[in-house]
Amino acid sequence: MNPPSTLYQGLIERYRARLPIASQTKVITLCEGNTALIPLDNLARAVGHDVKIYAKFEGLNPTGSFKDRGMTMAVTQAVSEGSRAIICASTGNTSASAAAYAARAGIRCFVLIPEGKIALGKLAQAMIQGSVVIQIKGNFDDGMRIVKEMATVAPVAIVNSINPYRLQGQKTAAFEIVDVLGRAPDYHCIPVGNAGNISAYWVGFSEYAGVQPKTAACGYCTEYCAFPFPAVTSTRPVMVGYQAAGSAPFIAGHPIAEPETVATAIRIGNPQSWDLAWAAVRESGGWFDSLTDAEILAAQRTLAATEGVFCEPASAIAVAGLVRDLTRGKIRPGSLITCTLTGHGLKDPDTAIKQSGGGMVEVPADSDAVKRAILDNL
Ligand code: F0G
C-alpha cells in the first residue's frame, strides 16, 4: 500500500530533483529534515539593533542532530552500491545517526569514539541501536585517520562527511530556510567542527541562488542532478563559522594537536573539510571566530532560560557568536540572521545539569513547605 500523500517522507523525497539519487534507488529514511525555524524574538529584543533572528533547530531531527540529513543520503547510497557495513569516527552525533540508519537498513555499523569525551545521550543512542562501538584511547582526529585506513582494508563504507553524499543531504537545511523565509538570510551563523556542515549550507544557499559554488567538489553527480538548477532567490548569506577557543584550527590557521572544549561535539583539531569551509567563508564575505567555553555555556543557558530552546553546547556557540558580532557591529543592524542549532540539549544532560546552578529546592512532602517554596521564588 502506498503511504498517504500527506505523509512527509523525508528530505530525499522532498528535494529529489536537486540530489544525486537515481529514481529506482531504495531510500533509507527516518523522515528527517523539515525542522522548525524558530524566531528568537526575546534574544533579538535583548540584543537590540533591530534584527530578526531565527534558529534552525536541527535537534528536532529523528536522532536529535543535523547528521540525519547527511546520513539518509550516505546510507541510501552505500546500500544501493551493495555495502553491508558502514563505519565512522565520531564525537557522538554522527555515531548516533549512523547507528540509526544502519539499523533501519539492516546493515552493520562500526563507530569509533574518543574515550571519555562523548556525551551520554549520544553513547546511549549508538549502543541501543546496535552499532559496534569501538572506543579508542585518542581523539576524533585519531579516529578519523584510522577510519580512512579501515575503508581500504575492510568491506566498510565511510559515512563521515568526507563522503560527498553527506554534504549533499545536509545542503537541504539551507533550502528549507529559504523556502520558509521566502528569501535568503543576510547572515548565517553556524558551529564549525569537522567543517562539513558549513560547506554543505554554502552549497545549498548557492544552488538556491542559481550559482554553482566554487565548493562544488562536494558531490555533484551530473548523472542525476546537473547544474544549472532554477534559482529560487537572488541572494546568498554571509557565512559565519564559530569554533571553541580550545579547538579552533580555522582561527589558528593550522591543525591543533590536542583540541579541548566542553562542547565535545566540536572537539576537533584537524577538520576534514578545510578547503571547502574556507571557500564558503571567503566566497560569502564571511569570517571564522572563536568563543570560550564560558561564553558557549552562557549562551546555552540564555537560550534555554529565555527562549525555551534547549540545544547542546556545540550548538549554542552559534548564538554566542552572533550576539557578540552584533554587539561589536560586525553584523549589520537591521539584518535577517539565521543560525543553526545543530543538536538537542538532551544529548548532553550532564553538562546541562552541572551548569544549571543546582536549581532545585528540597522540601518535606507537605503543602505548607511547597507553598513556602513557591512564594519564596515567585
Ligand atoms: N554541532 C554538533 C552538535 C555536532 O555534532 C557537530 C559535529 C558540529 C556541530 C560540527 O559540524 O563537523 O560539520 O563542522 N559532529 C561530528 C560528530 C563531528 O562526529 O558527530 P561539522
**316-352 confidence digits (pLDDT tens):** 999 999 999 999 999 999 999 999 999 999 999 999 9
Contact by Cβ (8 Å): 200, 167: yes
Ligand 1 in reach of 343 Cβ (< 6 A) = yes
Helix (H) or strand (E) holding 68: helix 67-80
Q: How far is CA 353 from the centre of its chain?
A: 22
Contact by Cβ (8 Å): 294, 262: no
CA of 186 to the centre of ligand 1 (A): 23
Instruction: Write down the pLDDT at residue 235.
Output: 97
* Candidate from 68, 166, 194 with most ligand 1 atoms within 8 A of CB, to mutate: 194
Ligand 1 in reach of 92 Cβ (< 6 A) = yes
Ligand 1 in reach of 196 Cβ (< 6 A) = yes
Ligand 1 in reach of 194 Cβ (< 6 A) = yes
Ligand 1 in reach of 123 Cβ (< 6 A) = no
Of 173, 161, 182, nearest in space to 204 by CA = 173
Instruction: Write down the pLDDT at residue 167.
Output: 93
Instruction: Write down the pLDDT at residue 213.
Output: 74
pTM: 0.96
Which residue's CA is the closest to the ligand 1 atom numbered 6? 265
Tell me what the pLDDT averaged over the chain comes to: 94
d(CA 112, CA 138): 10
Written as nine digits, the cell of 121 is 545521550
- The per-residue pLDDT for range 192-237, each reduced to its tens digit, is 999 999 999 999 999 999 988 765 555 555 556 667 788 999 999 9
Instruction: Write down the pLDDT at residue 143.
Output: 97
DSSP state of 106: T
Residues in the chain where the model's pLDDT stays below 50? none
Contact by Cβ (8 Å): 247, 291: no
Strand partners, 328: none
CA of 369 to the centre of ligand 1 (A): 45
